[in-house]
Structure 1
Amino acid sequence: MTGLTGAPGTTDAPPKHSRLPRLRGLTWLVWRQHRTAYWTVLAASAGCLAWIVYQRTALTDFLTGHGWPARSVDDLGTELQPYTSDFQPVSMALGLIPVLLGVFIGAPLFAGDLENGTAKLVTAQSVSRTRWLAVKLGVTGLVIVVASVALSVAFGWWWSPVRGTATVLDWTSGSAFDTTGPVPVALSLLTFVGGAAIGVALRRTLASMVVTFAFAVAVQLVWSHFRLSLGDPVVLTTERGVTAEDSFPVLPGGAYQLDQSYLTGDGDLLGWSTCVQAADEQAHAACLRAADVVGWSVEYLPISQMGGMQWLGAGIVLALTAGLTVFLFVWGRKRLV
């Protein structure tokens, strides 16, 4: 008869090891130290994702019931408004996320440790300064990337059925451009790393948060100023005159007009205000003939360039983030204690 334990012929079953990854060592310590902030970011992102999924389902149900995608969304007019009115406030809220991450996650990340002496305690152990910096940046950066990627994909998925409708969201505005694709991820990482670097330099939590807020706002302002310069403008010209009803060129759907000018027979461009002071229509037409105006020249950005512009801009932002990261390690190794 075989015994339960230790009897002859009995083979003890090997202990079962969990296949789930477990945090250990310094990674566990960093997670435990900042777990409240991490779980807050992840939980808020999960709640926002669930709400976006609900809104997207309602939108597609409405569009499908009205013949979409065979029927153009533009034909729905005001019927579409109840299902798209939330795009603007949600996109504005998402646009604030990089600022919030920089101020409340990035700035206190190292400033708090330097201010209360935790950094000195950790580096007095067997942990090198470089490893302490790398693990704290890496774990926190991973949480930020996961949350921002998920929100970017979800918002783009929600917006995609009405993407070409300028009355819902203009794709060149920050409401759409900065909340979809790689842009929100890049901006979040830049403000986070910038806040962390400011915290290492100032060594005081509150002061670091204030300066980081100013830094994040400056980033948003500079980014919005140069956003359209990332594209390659397309020029469309006509030679059907400028006074007839069908003389103005028809732009592709979703195109964003940058500029318009009069085109002369010699190929020169005149401002659209040329001859605007003419007394009447006949005088205006005579003025245009005297200036040899033959048609329009319109400069625009097609919506097809949106993806390329986003990746180019994100690449520039990530390059700046890499530079700040190098500064953080070089400066932080000297200032960590």
Structure 2
Amino acid sequence: MIWLSWRQFRTQALVGVGALAVLAAYLLHLGLRIRDSRAGYLARCQPQGDCAQAMAQFVGEYQNTLLILAGLLGLVPGILGMFWGAPLVARELEAGTHRLVWNQSVSRRRWLATRLLFVALAAAAVAGLASLLLTWAASPVDTAADDRFSTVVFGARNITPIGYALFAVTLGTVLGLVVRRTLPAMALTVLAFTVVQFGMPNLIRPHLMPPATVTRPMTADAINQVRGLGSITGAAVVRGVTVPDAWVTYTSELRTSDGRALDAGRFDDCLMSPPKTGATGTFGDTARCLGDLDLHVDLAYQPEHRYWPFQWLESAIYLGLSVLLGGFGLWRIRRRVT
């Protein structure tokens, strides 16, 4: 069965190896260039003893490139599920060639389990090596930027792409087994995988561990450091409040000293027509107006030291989903597929 699986899968495997080799060459070159650039920035700033601005420039030089690479790597598991997983059984059922195999000494379950395990491990190897290379290349920038919990970066580093690849291939295989048509199975695989990948960082990941909480006073200086004010709903909110060495998962509305939400009308007054004081900063008079109201926000966050527990927990979730899907596929091929 292993030899047969290799014979049927070798074209896809060789394409994957070729693509991985090209990616490896580029990431090795990029990683060395990043390290040379970092050394140059440090050599210029260390005599003055203040490297914060230099490191910010260093991050800005490579951040967009690395975000694009992380986004592309985020597509790899879905592509593997679409082109490796979905046709794995659907193509056999569509062509009717499964009957020949099932009339041999190999049972249906053994046939499916061997093929699925072979392809899933190959996908995990491709995604894992790509993630390892990108993690190595980007590590100087990741250390300086301190944003390893951001959605795109988290999903493209270390071990989580392995879990994504295992899940995507298993999902595609099971959908092909259920749908029994290759093209619909490929389309459904991409759709279902996209939905899961959207839900995980937005609905599940923030709650994998109980968050820590803190109250942050919203002085004029603090307001000038946020990314934005207000929302399309008109609520009195601030966007982009940070906690050092942490991932902020929740920011409350602006609250008054007695804990009540700031009145939307009062917020709008400060936002649209604040008293003219000549205050400077990002939000100027608006920040001064809001700062005089003795406001605060309640924050929930995940400390940076929880990064690896989150990596392991999320990977375990995807592995568990893969096992459940695989078990369903083994049940269905025995009971429902003829």
| TM-score normalised by length of structure 2 | 0.77
Q: Which runs of 5+ in 1 are unaligned?
A: 1-25
SS of residue in 1 equivalent to 2:243: coil
Shift of 1:55: 0.5
| 2:134 corresponds to 1:155 | yes
Q: 1:252 aligns with which of 228, 231, 244?
A: 244
Count matched residues.
304
Question: What does residue 236 of structure 1 align with?
Answer: 214
Shift of 1:61: 1.2
The change in CA–CA distance for 1:138 and 1:232 in structure 2 (over 3 A counts) is same
- Check whether the contact 2:206–2:249 (CA below 8 A) recurs between aligned residues: no
Output the CA distance in 2 between the equivalents of 1:72 and 1:149. Answer: 34
Q: CA RMSD in A?
A: 3.3
Shift of 1:245: 3.3
Shift of 1:104: 0.6
Shift of 1:162: 1.8
| 2:57 corresponds to 1:78 | yes
Output the CA distance in 1 between the equivalents of 2:199 and 2:299. Answer: 26
Larger Rg: 1
Question: What does residue 232 of structure 2 align with?
Answer: none
| 2:189 corresponds to 1:197 | no
Deviation track 1:32-55 (CA, whole Å, cap 9, x = no partner) reads 111101121222122212211111
| 2:322 corresponds to 1:321 | yes
4+ residue segments displaced more than 6 Å? 68-71, 246-250, 284-289
Output the CA distance in 2 between the equivalents of 1:125 and 1:82. Answer: 59
Supply the AA of the counterpart residue of 2:166: L
Q: Which runs of 5+ in 2 are unaligned?
A: 226-240, 278-285
Question: What does residue 312 of structure 2 align with?
Answer: 311
SS of residue in 2 equivalent to 1:236: strand
Output the CA distance in 2 between the equivalents of 1:118 and 1:196. Answer: 16
State percent identity of aligned pairs.
28
Output the CA distance in 2 between the equivalents of 1:73 and 1:153. Answer: 28
SS of residue in 2 equivalent to 1:237: strand
Output the CA distance in 2 between the equivalents of 1:314 and 1:108. Answer: 25
The change in CA–CA distance for 1:67 and 1:254 in structure 2 (over 3 A counts) is farther
Output the CA distance in 2 between the equivalents of 1:154 and 1:224. Answer: 23
The change in CA–CA distance for 1:83 and 1:322 in structure 2 (over 3 A counts) is same
Output the CA distance in 2 between the equivalents of 1:311 and 1:164. Answer: 20
Deviation track 1:4-35 (CA, whole Å, cap 9, x = no partner) reads xxxxxxxxxxxxxxxxxxxxxx1111101111
SS of residue in 1 equivalent to 2:158: coil
Output the CA distance in 1 between the equivalents of 2:213 and 2:221. Answer: 20
| TM-score normalised by length of structure 1 | 0.77
The change in CA–CA distance for 1:287 and 1:156 in structure 2 (over 3 A counts) is closer
Shift of 1:73: 6.2
Shift of 1:137: 1.0
Whose helix fraction is larger, Structure 1's or Structure 2's? 2
| 2:120 corresponds to 1:141 | yes
